[in-house]
Amino acid sequence: MKKYLFLLVIFGLSAVAMAQDSLRLRLDSLLDDPLFETSQVGMMVYDLTADSALYTYNHRQTLRPASCMKLVTSITALDALGPNYEYQTALYYTGEIQGRTLVGNIYCVGGFDPMLTQEDIITLASGIRQLGIDSIRGLIVADRSMKESLDYGEGWCWDDENPLLTPLSIGRNDNFTSTLAEEIARLGINLEKVELMQGRKPTQAKMIDVCCHSIRQVLQRMMKDSDNHYAESMFYQTAASTGRRPARAIDARTVTKKLINRLGLNADNYRIADGSGLSLYNYVSAELLTKLLRHAWRTPSIYKALSEALPIAGVDGTLKKRMINTPAQGNVRAKTGTLTGITSLAGYCTAPDGHQLCFAIINQGILGNTPGRAFQDRVCKVLCGDTEVIGAKEVRVAKVAKKANTAKKHKNAKPAKKSKKKKKK
């Protein structure tokens, strides 16, 4: 009996080894592509279930990740802050309420919440009304001390549509205090020579109300739609977790590097510039992205929040139109990245044997995004069990052969006989 069990184990291990060898050969064939004569690619596939690397190619080469940098940002933030963290924007007041008049100031303390809307302002203004006042004699002060005064990230291109990095805004518009003043007036509260200015909330100020949005809510748009403003806000939440005020980008980098070192890598081998991937100064590797994905998967609270936010192939987000009608559709959950000359893709999928995989692919030095994305899609389809996927080189060979066969058929085809018409007598 033991002999049979031993043979079954050996047979099972042999079958797994053969399947892995087959996968490696197929991925090797995809890399046999003229695309890589003029461009670079770094790639790694990791079997999370077996806890072992399945495939590597230039996986330690440092490349620009584009928006796959958002994976670094989100996993670091979830690790440092937890999945229940909340962004907060608060109103405070100082002074005294004399009769029905507030003789003092209103302080609007920004927490770099990118989800603030006009409806949130209405709610906050209603909180002021609940003080039982009908007039304000003082100032409305914008407290932007949550973060450093830099408006843009390090290494951003001047001609890009870059988000303004202010911790107190409505969406992308830096008009919080003026909008609040308008809403206060609309509620019937008289603003007696009230001025709008910038300052810092005194320690003795009393809270009026607070508006909150969860990190999970922010993650949804940040990852599904690849929103750069949302990503930078999360980058600065990580910076603020150090307790420093104002929080600085360098503080977020420090937290990120500590996590990288915890994963067994050397943080000095990478360059962390911003949270969105807009910067041309970011340099990471496929191995780093894969290690982070593995860390998230092994931490259930992080994985749940992250996986819910990742785009799903052929279903939603930036992957909605990719890998449709293939085994990868509905299976691959991954973050996309696009900058001039760069495309990237990193995330999770389930292999045909039920094993959970994570992967990272960074294409760099390509003149168009389409070839890089096509290569990434072919890799994903292979990982998900598509046996009909062939490399770009094989596609071209097949097209040439088909064209040659068509031409040969036309050449060998016999001309149709002309029908003989009977002469009329």
The rounded mean pLDDT for the chain is 90
The pLDDT confidence band at residue 410, using thresholds 50, 70 and 90, is: low
C-alpha–C-alpha distance, residues 314 and 36, integer Å: 26
Residue 9: the pLDDT is 45
DSSP 103-162: ES-EEEE----TT--HHHHHHHHHHHHTT--SEEESEEEEE-TTB-S--S-TT--TTS-P
Distances in whole angstroms, Cα of residue 129 to Cα of each of 277, 280, 320, 387, 400: 42, 47, 45, 66, 75
Is residue 196 domain-resident?
Answer: yes
C-alpha–C-alpha distance, residues 397 and 400, integer Å: 5
The pLDDT confidence band at residue 409, using thresholds 50, 70 and 90, is: low
The pLDDT tens digits of the residues spanning 299-338 come to 999 999 999 999 999 999 999 999 999 999 999 999 999 9
Is residue 401 domain-resident?
Answer: no
The pLDDT confidence band at residue 368, using thresholds 50, 70 and 90, is: confident
Higher pLDDT, 391 or 195: 195
Is residue 378 domain-resident?
Answer: yes
**The dihedral sign for the CA sequence 124, 125, 130, 136:** positive
- Say yes or no: 364 and 224 in one domain: yes
CATH number at residue 277: 3.40.710.10
Among candidate residues 240, 311, 287, the one with its CA nearest the CA of residue 53: 287
- Say yes or no: 131 and 146 in one domain: yes
- Say yes or no: 261 and 363 in one domain: yes
| 364 contacts 339 by C-beta, under 8 angstroms | no
- Looking at residue 263, the DSSP 8-state letter turns out to be T
Range of the domain at 40: 29-83+219-390
- Say yes or no: 74 and 104 in one domain: no
Residue 399: the pLDDT is 52
pTM metric for this prediction = 0.88
Mean pLDDT of 107-134: 96
The pLDDT tens digits of the residues spanning 13-72 come to 444 555 678 899 999 999 999 999 999 999 999 999 999 999 999 999 999 999 999 999
| 333 contacts 312 by C-beta, under 8 angstroms | yes
Mean pLDDT of 150-156: 91
Is residue 424 domain-resident?
Answer: no
C-alpha–C-alpha distance, residues 104 and 137, integer Å: 6
Number of structural domains (the chain) is 2
CATH number at residue 203: 3.50.80.20
- Say yes or no: 115 and 46 in one domain: no
Q: How do strand 135-137 and strand 190-191 relate by DSSP bridges?
A: parallel
The pLDDT tens digits of the residues spanning 239-258 come to 999 999 999 999 999 999 99
Which residues lie across from 198 on neighbouring strands?
Answer: 142
The pLDDT confidence band at residue 397, using thresholds 50, 70 and 90, is: very low
Q: Residue 416 above 70 pLDDT?
A: no
The pLDDT confidence band at residue 359, using thresholds 50, 70 and 90, is: very high
C-alpha–C-alpha distance, residues 370 and 9, integer Å: 44
Q: Residue 162 above 90 pLDDT?
A: no
- Say yes or no: 248 and 350 in one domain: yes
Which residues lie across from 223 on neighbouring strands?
Answer: none
The pLDDT tens digits of the residues spanning 2-27 come to 556 555 545 444 445 556 788 999 99
Task: Compute how many other C-beta atoms are within 10 angstroms of the C-beta atom of residue 145.
Answer: 18
Collect all residues with Cβ–Cβ distance below 8 Å to 366 and sequence separation of at least 6: 35, 39, 341, 342, 343, 372
Q: Which of 179, 214, 249 is the last residue of a domain?
A: 214
